[in-house]
Amino acid sequence: MSGLSNLLLSIAMLAVGGLVAGAVAIWRRGDRRKGLLMAIAALVLLGNVLILTV
């Protein structure tokens, strides 16, 4: 993999962390639907990163 693709995968993993943290924060505020949607988005992005690294 080239340096650019490694950079983009790293940024995607940072986005996964941000989505999970945001989902937990929104879940605690009581808006469960938005928290669940953010968690699902994080799982989809994580799945894409895992597929691209194989």
pLDDT at 53: 92
Place of tokens 């650019």: 4
3-state secondary structure at position 54 = coil
- DSSP letter at 2 equals -
What does the DSSP assignment read for 11-53?
HHHHHHHHHHHHHHHHHHHT-HHHHHHHHHHHHHHHHHHHHHH
pLDDT tens for the chain, 54 residues: list them. 789 999 999 999 999 999 999 999 999 999 999 999 999 999 999 999 999 998
Asked if 48 contacts 28 with a C-beta cutoff of 8 angstroms, the reply is: no
Asked if 19 contacts 49 with a C-beta cutoff of 8 angstroms, the reply is: no
The range of the structural domain enclosing residue 45 comes to: 3-53
Total domains present in the chain:
1
